[in-house]
Chains A and B, each alone.
Chain A
Amino acid sequence: MTEFTLYTFLAASLGLIAIGIGGVILSRNLFRIVLALSIAEAGGNLLLVLIGFRHDAIAPIIEPGRALTTMVDSIPQAMVLTSIVIGAGVQALALALAIRARASYGTLDMGIMRARMEADINRVAGAESAASLHAPASSSTLLTERKA
């Protein structure tokens, strides 16, 4: 393994983090936001494992009957092990919330969802809903039709 390969891996992990965070900001679809989050997480995990790598070392498993040699740092690996499993749990929770949001507002698009949410809040508060930039005035009737 040469120095060049390590810098390639560094570029991969930083690129995955940037693509993931950029995707969270860029996309309007809730499902795509969950996907982008998991990509950013994969990049972060790869960066952590990469930091613990050593050129002159073996994988952190002792073979019985062989002299101890240097091994790669096992503490980042243990942390990443924890992080991956927690990431799956967080992803499942985010997906469940997305399913719930779609059941309530009938869409996965953040802009439309925000407009409907504001219309809902205004209706409950009894305020006259101002014309929104994101949704035309007629879209608020969709909600009342769906509820009926």
Chain B
Amino acid sequence: MSWADLIVLLMVVLVLATAFATLFLRNLLGAAVATTLVSLAVSVFYVILRAPDVALTEAAVGAGLSGLLLALAAKRLGLWHIEVQEAGLDERGDDPC
């Protein structure tokens, strides 16, 4: 087993842990960020598997566009809660108007 194998193994373990975090994080905005991270890591896997086209797509769509989409939807769903709050920031997301 070489160093490259060990690095790939470490990355895979981290990706699976991140995917678990998506299901069990209490903060849904954090869960959305974890999903985006899974996409980013999978795009690195595509580079290792010699699929540069797919890697570019996954990085642009999965990590970029989808993260923006999830963030905008979280704002409209009233899930925009950050742990360290600035004053008055958390009321804005829940505002129905």
The distance from the CB of A20 to the nearest CB of chain B, in whole angstroms, is 7
Contact with A along B30-55 (1 / 0, CB 8 A): 01101100110010011011111110
Report the Cα distance A86→B5, complex, angstroms: 32
Are B50 and A32 interface neighbours, CB within 8 A? no
Report the Cα distance A85→B76, complex, angstroms: 23
Query: In chain A between 58 and 109, which residues have their CB closer than 8 angstroms to a CB of chain B?
Result: 58-61, 72, 77, 80-81, 84-85, 87-88, 91-92, 95-96, 98-99, 102, 108
Are A45 and B42 interface neighbours, CB within 8 A? yes
Question: From B25, which residue of chain A is reached at the shortest CB distance?
Answer: A32
Which A residues are CB-close (under 8 A) to B58? 42, 45, 84
Name the contact of B70 in the complex, choosing from A23, A27, A35, A102 (C-beta under 8 A): A35
Are A5 and B8 interface neighbours, CB within 8 A? yes
Are B39 and A32 interface neighbours, CB within 8 A? no
Name the contact of A4 in the complex, choosing from B5, B16, B74 (C-beta under 8 A): B5
- Interface majority SS on B: helix, strand, loop or mixed? helix
Are A20 and B42 interface neighbours, CB within 8 A? no
Are A32 and B31 interface neighbours, CB within 8 A? yes
Which A residues are CB-close (under 8 A) to B12? 8-9, 11-12
Which A residues are CB-close (under 8 A) to B49? 9, 49-50, 53, 72
Are B45 and A58 interface neighbours, CB within 8 A? no
Query: In chain A between 22 and 58, which residues have their CB closer than 8 angstroms to a CB of chain B?
Result: 22-23, 26-27, 29, 31-32, 34-36, 38-39, 42, 45-46, 49-50, 52-53, 57-58
A19 lies within 8 A of chain B by Cβ? yes
Are B77 and A20 interface neighbours, CB within 8 A? no
Beyond A39-B19, A99-B73, whether A4 also contacts B1 by CB under 8 A is yes
Please name the 8 residue pairs, one residue from A and one from B, whose CB atoms are nearest each other, closest first. A95-B73, A12-B12, A59-B50, A23-B23, A19-B19, A35-B35, A88-B61, A15-B16
